Amino acid sequence: MSSGLKVLHIAETVRGGIATYLNELHPHQNASFGRGNVNYVVPSDHRGDLVNIEDDAITTFPRDGRNAVGLFRMLSATMRAVRQLRPDIIHLHSSFAGLVVRPVLWLTYRRSRIVYCPHGWAFGRETGRLSREVTKFTELVLSKLTHRIVCISESERADAMQVGIAANRLVLVHNGISKQRPALDKGATPWRSDKIKVLFIGRLDRQKGYDLLIEAARALGDKLDVRLIGASVVGKFRRSDLPANVSFLGWMNRNQIEAELDQADMIAIPSRWEAFGLVAIEAMRAAKPIIAFRVGALPEIVEDSATGVLCDEVSAEQLMEGFQRATRLDLPAVGRAGYERFTRLYDIEQTHRTLSQVYADVLHVRTSESGQQAELRSDFPNNLRS
């Protein structure tokens, strides 16, 4: 039974975590709100990242890189979709969509309620001090044009409050994925090794800390066998630089990734900063222990010595010490504890339920026990002045 709620998701890029988030959420929102009521605005070169979502639910815009022209095209596509679909909820994903769309919607179209998910604050990344202060100020000002800001971790919520964003605008909604693992690719190369088999999945860039993992692997050649799944950043990554115990597999589809996950003993997430880390809950779903630094949401997701190993400082030396500790753990048992934690906290059905409640709250829908909708009322202009 659909509620007929119309939702429009807007993203300036979906590659990586945001695509996973939307792909996992879509079937649940579609079933709850009705077919045709859940729509998307995404760049045309990322259309293929959204799977099992009909073409008529997606408005695309052309872009080549992150520049003013691309942002203007996103805004044009957004306004076209808004006028055509007249959504109840406009759900913005990540800072660029939030930056461009919120002020324009506030000036031109106030019928919709605006929900914004930064998927990691831009001011939490490694940037210059001035850039960080400008970003903090911008997010604070724009928060006043936003009905609700969805934080994907407690650390993201704490960072927002530190900047001065009002607590009543913030809501914690953990990322989730389906309990059902995707099928395992049957053609995977067997991974035979007497060492600890360590898998890395992600972009090969500075944020993800793959260089620290390579350094640790080089020093622990007798203990670790490492495989890297990911896309290399142009000019930064040379396969010839890899030590003998590190293999580069390139980018893989979901079924191939699951097959590699299945063979690994441990998943490395050596990120220098990380808003959430979907790879962590994908690892837990596969009952694999995790090694990571205490950054962003990772200490909320991973329990040290219980579901993985947390390293205190971001360095190759700390990672090496973490791997030494891992050799003394019963890794399969740690992985099973991670799976239990995953089913309790990070199931997509729970994400969907909480997000649906957020939508209902911003629309001020009061639903009685029998499921009948009571009157809609809005005191948003009053909230804005608070």
Mean pLDDT rounded to a whole number for the chain: 89
Per-residue confidence at 17, pLDDT binned at 50, 70, 90?
confident
Is the fold of 7-177+347-385 the same as that of 196-345? yes
Lowest mean pLDDT among 229-233, 265-269, 291-295: 229-233
Q: Which residue has the higher pLDDT, 210 or 365?
A: 210
Per-residue confidence at 366, pLDDT binned at 50, 70, 90?
very low
Mean pLDDT value of segment 167-193: 93
* Nearest alpha carbon to residue 42 among 5, 84, 97, 87: 97
Q: Which residue has the higher pLDDT, 157 or 16?
A: 157
Q: Which residue has the higher pLDDT, 95 or 241?
A: 95
Mean pLDDT value of segment 125-136: 83
Domain ranges of the chain: 7-177+347-385, 196-345
Mean pLDDT value of segment 193-202: 96
Is the CB of residue 111 less than 8 Å from the CB of residue 86?
yes
Query: How many whole angstroms from its chain centre is CA 344?
Result: 19
Radius of gyration of the chain (CA): 22
What is the predicted pLDDT for the residue at 159? Answer: 93
DSSP string, 242-275: S-TTEEEEE---HHHHHHHHHH-SEEEE--SS-S
What is the predicted pLDDT for the residue at 233? Answer: 58
Mean pLDDT value of segment 312-318: 95
Bin 121: left if φ > 0, else alpha if -120 < ψ < 50, else beta.
Answer: beta
- pTM equals 0.81
What is the CATH T-level fold of the domain 7-177+347-385, as seen in this structure?
Rossmann fold (3.40.50)
* Nearest alpha carbon to residue 93 among 8, 175, 18: 18
With a cut of 60, say whether residue 232 has pLDDT above it: yes
- Per-residue tokens: 325: 């500790």
What is the predicted pLDDT for the residue at 63? Answer: 86
What is the predicted pLDDT for the residue at 236? Answer: 65
Is the CB of residue 170 less than 8 Å from the CB of residue 151?
yes
Distance CA 123, CA 210 (A): 22
Distance CA 314, CA 272 (A): 6
What is the predicted pLDDT for the residue at 126? Answer: 64
What is the predicted pLDDT for the residue at 274? Answer: 84
Give the homologous superfamily in CATH for domain 196-345.
Glycogen Phosphorylase B; (3.40.50.2000)
